[in-house]
């Protein structure tokens, strides 16, 4: 057992397993093979690609906690109906396994927000938010890089700054609207981001009847995500005993994508 190995979050391990079992070829069919492939995949994602990865087999490079999280993730996928035990009638029991019919049709479409390094995260963001600003992208690249370097507080701060940059763009676009722009003047002129959020929300509430139904339905989600990210940034940026986990920051990165996409759609309506 290698307790000095890097630990990964449940989400990272689960997404790595999904990538392995849904790939086009060389899909493992037994638990031991899956663990070996997961060990290699995590090593690649941690920047060990320059080494001879074939030497990793059986070398116990994974942290023991990662191996246990892998078991949890596997059986969670089984309980969700994504994995079926047994590969065929000739090998119908554990430790053989395969994707179920549901897994084949659902897993790839279930969560498009999968990433394993800063570059794939940025590509994901650009794919979901086509008009994202270069300023936000710069902060996001640092946020993802800090996450993979285990600089979790730094990552939280950068995610928050990127979210603020996109929110200010949204306020400015709304204030320039030829019909409703005056409603957002107070939000645009507010000095602090918290005041901007409050006044922007008040302006939106006043014009709900004029907004498309899809925008109104997602408004609560958008404001909740924005509040979560802003709180995480504020707590991480102050000299207090803030504790943040890799699992939380991984979720924050994914939440940012959903939030930025909703802001883009709202910006299109209000521009």
Q: Is residue 159, in this structure, part of any structural domain at all? A: yes
CB 40 within 8 A of CB 52: no
What integer pLDDT is reported at residue 84 of this predicted model? 92
Q: Are 45 and 149 in a shared domain? A: no
Q: Is residue 235, in this structure, part of any structural domain at all? A: yes
The model carries a pTM of 0.68
Give the integer Cα–Cα distance in Å for 197 and 195.
5
What integer pLDDT is reported at residue 113 of this predicted model? 60
Residue-wise burial string across 221-250, b where 16 or more C-beta atoms lie within 10 A, e elsewhere: ebbebbeebbebbebbeeeeeeeeebebbb
CB 125 within 8 A of CB 137: yes
Q: Is residue 213, in this structure, part of any structural domain at all? A: yes
Residue 98 sits in a domain whose CATH number is 1.10.10
Residue 150 sits in a domain whose CATH number is 1.20.120
Q: Are 150 and 134 in a shared domain? A: yes
What integer pLDDT is reported at residue 120 of this predicted model? 83
Q: Are 30 and 86 in a shared domain? A: yes
Give the three-class secondary structure for 240.
coil
- Show pLDDT as tens, one digit a residue, over the chain (271 residues): 677 788 888 888 998 999 899 988 899 999 999 999 999 988 888 877 554 555 555 556 788 899 999 999 999 999 888 899 998 888 888 999 999 888 887 776 655 566 777 888 898 899 999 999 999 999 999 999 998 888 889 999 999 999 999 999 999 999 998 888 888 899 999 988 888 888 988 888 888 887 788 777 778 888 888 888 888 888 887 666 567 888 888 889 989 998 999 999 988 888 7
């Amino acid at each position: 057992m290698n307790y000095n190995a890097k630990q990964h979050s449940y989400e990272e391990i689960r997404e790595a397993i999904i990538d392995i079992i849904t790939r086009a070829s060389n899909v493992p069919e037994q638990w031991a093979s899956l663990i070996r492939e997961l060990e290699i995949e995590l090593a690649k994602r941690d920047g060990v690609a320059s080494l001879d990865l074939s030497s990793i087999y059986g070398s116990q490079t994974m942290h023991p906690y990662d191996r246990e999280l892998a078991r949890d993730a596997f059986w969670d996928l089984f309980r969700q109906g994504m994995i079926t035990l047994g590969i065929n009638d000739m090998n119908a029991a554990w430790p053989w396994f395969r994707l179920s019919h549901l897994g084949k049709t659902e897993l790839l479409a279930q969560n498009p927000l999968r990433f394993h390094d800063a570059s794939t995260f940025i590509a994901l963001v650009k794919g979901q938010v086509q008009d994202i600003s270069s300023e936000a992208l710069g902060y996001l690249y640092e946020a993802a890089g800090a996450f993979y370097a285990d600089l979790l507080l730094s990552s939280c701060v950068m995610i928050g700054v990127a979210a603020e940059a996109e929110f200010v763009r949204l306020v400015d676009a709304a204030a320039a609207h030829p019909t409703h722009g005056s409603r957002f003047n107070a939000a645009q002129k507010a000095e602090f981001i918290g005041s901007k959020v409050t006044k922007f929300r008040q302006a939106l509430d006043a014009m709900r009847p004029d907004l498309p139904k899809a925008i109104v339905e997602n408004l609560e989600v958008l404001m909740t995500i924005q509040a979560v990210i802003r709180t995480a940034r504020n707590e991480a940026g102050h000299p207090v005993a803030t504790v943040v986990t890799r699992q939380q920051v991984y979720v924050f990165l994914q939440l940012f994508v959903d939030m930025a996409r909703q802001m883009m759609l709202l910006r299109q309506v209000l521009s």
